Protein backbone atom coordinates (compact mmCIF):
# COMPACT_ATOMS: atom_id res chain seq x y z
CA UNK A 1 0.00 0.00 0.00
CA UNK A 2 1.33 3.43 -0.89
CA UNK A 3 2.50 5.72 1.86
CA UNK A 4 1.59 9.36 2.09
CA UNK A 5 4.33 11.44 0.43
CA UNK A 6 5.81 12.81 3.66
CA UNK A 7 6.08 9.39 5.32
CA UNK A 8 7.46 7.87 2.12
CA UNK A 9 10.08 10.61 1.87
CA UNK A 10 11.22 10.12 5.49
CA UNK A 11 11.45 6.38 4.93
CA UNK A 12 13.52 6.86 1.78
CA UNK A 13 15.93 9.06 3.72
CA UNK A 14 16.18 6.55 6.57
CA UNK A 15 16.94 3.66 4.22
CA UNK A 16 19.48 5.76 2.32
CA UNK A 17 21.31 6.75 5.52
CA UNK A 18 21.41 3.11 6.65
CA UNK A 19 23.07 2.08 3.36
CA UNK A 20 26.14 4.23 3.97
CA UNK A 21 27.57 1.71 6.43
CA UNK A 22 28.26 -0.58 3.49
CA UNK A 23 30.56 1.98 1.86
CA UNK A 24 34.22 1.79 2.87
CA UNK A 25 37.21 4.05 2.32
CA UNK A 26 38.62 3.54 -1.18
CA UNK A 27 35.54 1.77 -2.54
CA UNK A 28 34.23 1.99 -6.07
CA UNK A 29 30.53 2.71 -5.55
CA UNK A 30 27.71 2.27 -8.05
CA UNK A 31 25.33 5.22 -7.76
CA UNK A 32 21.69 4.37 -8.40
CA UNK A 33 18.95 6.37 -10.08
CA UNK A 34 15.56 7.41 -8.73
CA UNK A 35 14.07 9.31 -5.81
CA UNK A 36 15.39 6.96 -3.09
CA UNK A 37 18.85 6.51 -4.61
CA UNK A 38 19.11 10.31 -4.91
CA UNK A 39 19.17 10.56 -1.12
CA UNK A 40 22.01 8.05 -0.93
CA UNK A 41 23.97 10.07 -3.49
CA UNK A 42 23.36 13.24 -1.50
CA UNK A 43 24.44 11.63 1.79
CA UNK A 44 27.53 10.14 0.12
CA UNK A 45 28.35 13.62 -1.14
CA UNK A 46 28.30 14.88 2.46
CA UNK A 47 30.69 12.07 3.47
CA UNK A 48 33.02 12.87 0.57
CA UNK A 49 33.09 16.53 1.58
CA UNK A 50 33.98 15.35 5.09
CA UNK A 51 36.95 13.38 3.75
CA UNK A 52 35.70 9.97 2.59
CA UNK A 53 37.60 8.83 -0.50
CA UNK A 54 35.53 6.84 -3.01
CA UNK A 55 35.00 6.66 -6.75
CA UNK A 56 31.43 6.67 -8.03
CA UNK A 57 30.01 5.04 -11.16
CA UNK A 58 26.61 6.56 -11.97
CA UNK A 59 23.76 4.58 -13.52
CA UNK A 60 22.32 7.50 -15.50
CA UNK A 61 23.17 10.88 -16.95
CA UNK A 62 20.97 12.48 -14.28
CA UNK A 63 22.83 10.74 -11.43
CA UNK A 64 26.17 11.63 -13.03
CA UNK A 65 25.25 15.32 -13.03
CA UNK A 66 23.97 15.15 -9.45
CA UNK A 67 27.06 13.34 -8.16
CA UNK A 68 29.41 15.74 -9.94
CA UNK A 69 27.61 18.73 -8.41
CA UNK A 70 28.18 17.20 -4.95
CA UNK A 71 31.90 16.74 -5.55
CA UNK A 72 31.86 12.93 -5.76
CA UNK A 73 34.82 11.80 -7.91
CA UNK A 74 33.54 9.69 -10.80
CA UNK A 75 34.96 6.90 -12.91
CA UNK A 76 33.68 4.72 -15.76
CA UNK A 77 33.64 1.07 -16.80
CA UNK A 78 36.57 1.94 -19.09
CA UNK A 79 38.65 2.40 -15.95
CA UNK A 80 37.21 -0.21 -13.55
CA UNK A 81 35.19 -3.34 -14.19
CA UNK A 82 34.71 -4.40 -10.57
CA UNK A 83 32.43 -2.36 -8.30
CA UNK A 84 32.62 -2.89 -4.53
CA UNK A 85 29.07 -1.88 -3.70
CA UNK A 86 26.12 -0.35 -5.55
CA UNK A 87 23.34 1.45 -3.74
CA UNK A 88 20.10 1.70 -5.68
CA UNK A 89 16.35 1.77 -5.22
CA UNK A 90 13.62 -0.53 -6.54
CA UNK A 91 10.00 -0.23 -7.56
CA UNK A 92 9.16 -3.55 -5.89
CA UNK A 93 10.88 -6.39 -4.05
CA UNK A 94 9.52 -9.81 -3.08
CA UNK A 95 10.56 -12.27 -0.32
CA UNK A 96 13.28 -13.77 -2.59
CA UNK A 97 14.65 -10.23 -3.20
CA UNK A 98 13.67 -10.38 -6.84
CA UNK A 99 13.11 -6.81 -7.99
CA UNK A 100 11.19 -4.73 -10.46
CA UNK A 101 13.27 -1.71 -11.44
CA UNK A 102 13.18 0.87 -14.19
CA UNK A 103 10.46 3.28 -13.11
CA UNK A 104 13.01 6.03 -13.66
CA UNK A 105 14.01 4.67 -17.06
CA UNK A 106 17.60 3.72 -16.18
CA UNK A 107 17.12 -0.07 -15.99
CA UNK A 108 19.73 -0.96 -18.62
CA UNK A 109 22.64 0.88 -17.00
CA UNK A 110 21.36 -0.10 -13.54
CA UNK A 111 21.47 -3.80 -14.43
CA UNK A 112 24.92 -3.53 -16.02
CA UNK A 113 26.29 -1.83 -12.89
CA UNK A 114 24.48 -4.32 -10.61
CA UNK A 115 25.99 -7.25 -12.52
CA UNK A 116 29.50 -5.85 -11.96
CA UNK A 117 29.00 -5.25 -8.22
CA UNK A 118 30.23 -7.42 -5.35
CA UNK A 119 27.26 -6.15 -3.33
CA UNK A 120 23.97 -4.66 -4.51
CA UNK A 121 22.31 -2.85 -1.62
CA UNK A 122 18.68 -1.95 -2.40
CA UNK A 123 17.08 0.85 -0.38
CA UNK A 124 13.31 1.16 -0.21
CA UNK A 125 10.39 2.65 1.66
CA UNK A 126 7.78 0.24 3.02
CA UNK A 127 5.44 0.62 0.02
CA UNK A 128 7.92 -1.29 -2.17
CA UNK A 129 7.56 -4.61 -0.32
CA UNK A 130 5.21 -7.10 -2.03
CA UNK A 131 4.37 -10.77 -1.59
CA UNK A 132 4.38 -11.31 -5.38
CA UNK A 133 5.90 -9.02 -8.01
CA UNK A 134 3.68 -7.31 -10.57
CA UNK A 135 1.65 -4.56 -8.96
CA UNK A 136 4.10 -2.09 -10.54
CA UNK A 137 4.18 -2.18 -14.37
CA UNK A 138 7.28 -3.97 -15.62
CA UNK A 139 9.51 -1.71 -17.75
CA UNK A 140 10.94 -3.32 -20.89
CA UNK A 141 13.55 -1.35 -22.84
CA UNK A 142 13.32 -1.93 -26.59
CA UNK A 143 14.89 -0.61 -29.76
CA UNK A 144 12.40 1.73 -31.48
CA UNK A 145 12.49 -0.30 -34.73
CA UNK A 146 11.07 -3.37 -32.95
CA UNK A 147 8.65 -1.53 -30.68
CA UNK A 148 5.30 -2.33 -32.44
CA UNK A 149 6.23 -6.00 -32.84
CA UNK A 150 7.37 -6.34 -29.24
CA UNK A 151 4.32 -4.56 -27.86
CA UNK A 152 2.17 -7.17 -29.63
CA UNK A 153 4.29 -10.11 -28.47
CA UNK A 154 4.36 -8.98 -24.84
CA UNK A 155 0.62 -8.31 -24.90
CA UNK A 156 0.18 -11.91 -26.08
CA UNK A 157 1.79 -13.00 -22.80
CA UNK A 158 -1.12 -11.40 -20.96
CA UNK A 159 0.18 -7.90 -20.27
CA UNK A 160 -1.38 -4.52 -20.90
CA UNK A 161 1.40 -2.70 -22.75
CA UNK A 162 1.87 1.06 -22.83
CA UNK A 163 4.62 3.06 -24.55
CA UNK A 164 6.20 5.36 -21.97
CA UNK A 165 5.99 9.04 -22.88
CA UNK A 166 7.87 12.12 -21.70
CA UNK A 167 6.19 15.24 -20.32
CA UNK A 168 5.60 16.56 -23.85
CA UNK A 169 3.78 13.41 -24.94
CA UNK A 170 6.65 12.13 -27.08
CA UNK A 171 8.10 8.64 -26.61
CA UNK A 172 10.44 8.55 -23.61
CA UNK A 173 14.03 7.99 -24.77
CA UNK A 174 16.50 6.26 -22.47
CA UNK A 175 20.11 7.37 -22.01
CA UNK A 176 21.09 4.75 -24.59
CA UNK A 177 18.50 5.95 -27.12
CA UNK A 178 15.83 3.28 -26.65
CA UNK A 179 12.10 3.31 -25.87
CA UNK A 180 10.43 1.79 -22.80
CA UNK A 181 7.27 -0.31 -22.77
CA UNK A 182 5.50 -0.37 -19.40
CA UNK A 183 3.91 -3.80 -19.16
CA UNK A 184 1.18 -4.48 -16.59
CA UNK A 185 1.08 -8.24 -16.03
CA UNK A 186 -0.72 -8.30 -12.72
CA UNK A 187 0.91 -10.87 -10.46
CA UNK A 188 4.13 -12.43 -11.76
CA UNK A 189 4.33 -15.78 -9.92
CA UNK A 190 7.51 -16.92 -11.72
CA UNK A 191 9.71 -13.86 -12.36
CA UNK A 192 12.66 -16.00 -13.52
CA UNK A 193 10.60 -17.65 -16.27
CA UNK A 194 9.20 -14.33 -17.50
CA UNK A 195 12.70 -12.81 -17.44
CA UNK A 196 13.96 -15.58 -19.73
CA UNK A 197 11.04 -15.20 -22.16
CA UNK A 198 11.56 -11.44 -22.45
CA UNK A 199 15.34 -11.73 -22.78
CA UNK A 200 14.89 -14.16 -25.69
CA UNK A 201 12.80 -11.68 -27.73
CA UNK A 202 14.90 -10.03 -30.48
CA UNK A 203 14.75 -6.27 -30.02
CA UNK A 204 14.37 -6.34 -26.24
CA UNK A 205 17.46 -4.57 -24.95
CA UNK A 206 16.74 -5.20 -21.25
CA UNK A 207 13.84 -5.68 -18.84
CA UNK A 208 13.25 -4.52 -15.28
CA UNK A 209 13.21 -7.94 -13.61
CA UNK A 210 16.35 -8.13 -11.48
CA UNK A 211 16.74 -11.80 -10.54
CA UNK A 212 19.38 -12.95 -8.01
CA UNK A 213 21.20 -9.61 -8.14
CA UNK A 214 20.27 -7.93 -4.84
CA UNK A 215 22.55 -8.85 -1.93
CA UNK A 216 20.24 -7.24 0.57
CA UNK A 217 17.32 -4.84 0.88
CA UNK A 218 17.17 -2.10 3.50
CA UNK A 219 13.50 -1.24 3.96
CA UNK A 220 12.42 1.64 6.15
CA UNK A 221 9.05 1.54 7.87
CA UNK A 222 8.51 4.62 9.94
CA UNK A 223 11.87 5.24 11.64
CA UNK A 224 12.86 1.56 11.71
CA UNK A 225 15.08 0.08 8.99
CA UNK A 226 14.83 -3.68 8.45
CA UNK A 227 17.49 -5.65 6.60
CA UNK A 228 16.45 -8.48 4.28
CA UNK A 229 19.23 -10.72 2.97
CA UNK A 230 19.08 -13.03 0.00
CA UNK A 231 19.45 -16.72 0.88
CA UNK A 232 21.84 -18.46 -1.48
Catalytic residues: 110
Calculate ∠ Cα 214-229-113, nearest 5°.
Answer: 15
Query: What is d(CA 204, CA 141) in angstroms, rounded to the nearest whole number?
Result: 6
Task: List, in order, residues 6 or more apart from 171 with CB less than 8 Å away.
Answer: 144, 163, 164, 165, 179
Instruction: Report how far residue 92's alpha carbon sits from residue 125's, in angstroms, rounded to the nearest whole number.
Output: 10
Run of H or E including 198: helix 191-199
CA atoms of 80 and 216, how far apart (whole Å): 23
**How would you label 23-50 residue by residue, b for 16+ Cβ within 10 Å and e otherwise?**
beeebbbbbbbbebbbbbbebbbeebee
CB atoms within 10 A of CB 84: 18
Amino acid sequence: MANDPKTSDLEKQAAARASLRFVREGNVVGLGTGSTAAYAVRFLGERVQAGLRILGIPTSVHTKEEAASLGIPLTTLDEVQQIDVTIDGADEFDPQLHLIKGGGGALLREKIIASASRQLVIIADSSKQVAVLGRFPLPVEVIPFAQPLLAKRIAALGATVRLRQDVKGNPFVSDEGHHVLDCSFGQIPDPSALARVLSDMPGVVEHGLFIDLATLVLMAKGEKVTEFRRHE
